[in-house]
Amino acid sequence: MSEELIQVSEIKEVLEKYDIGKRPLSLVLGWGKGTLSRYVDGDIPTRQYSDVLKRVKNDPEFMLELLEKAVIDAVILNFGCYSGRILENMTHAERPWRETRNGLEDHEPSDRIIEKHLIESYFKQIREKYNMINVSDIRDYSRDLFEKIYH
């Protein structure tokens, strides 16, 4: 029966395939942060954990769903505590919003669309500034944005 469980070499393939560390993948999967380290060091995973790892290995769409869920959960955790007004003020303080509304007064309505390249460029800079490697790194960005507006 153990031959049907995922092998250490296959777990290492998963880490390499998705260019993700053991701890980050453990957290994306909702497991303890040291779980994958133990498996890579030779501990034998349960059938349930093995099956999940095999699915991650063989199904990139499943991995994408897990990553999307992890990002959404982190955004909700780190921004869901703020009111609609605070969130509005946060978005209005960010560069893509300000650049798109250039020349307009704060109270003036607008139907201008923020261009994708502005959003992409801005969040690449944010990712670098906050050294965002894990989805949990969103926390520092949300706190700094709040501090920037309200202090």
Give CA–CA dist 133/138, Å, rounded: 9
By percentage, how much of the chain surpasses pLDDT 90? 87
**Block residue for tokens 């201008």:** 112
Sign of the C-alpha dihedral, residues 97, 98, 102, 108?
A: positive
The answer to whether the beta carbons of residues 11 and 55 sit under 8 Å apart is no
Please give the structure tokens belonging to residue 13. Answer: 């393939």
The stretches of 20-151 forming alpha helices (DSSP H) are 22-28, 35-40, 47-58, 60-79, 84-93, 95-100, 116-129, 138-150
pLDDT for res 135: 80
Q: Using alpha carbons only, how large is the chain's radius of gyration in Å?
A: 20
- List the domains of the chain with CATH numbers: 2-58 (1.10.260), 71-150 (no CATH)
Please give the structure tokens belonging to residue 116. Answer: 């994708």
> Could you read off the pLDDT of 102-145 as tens digits, one per residue?
999 988 999 999 999 999 999 999 999 998 887 878 999 999 99
Average pLDDT, the chain: 93
pLDDT for res 134: 79
> Could you read off the pLDDT of 25-54 as tens digits, one per residue?
998 999 998 999 999 999 999 999 999 999
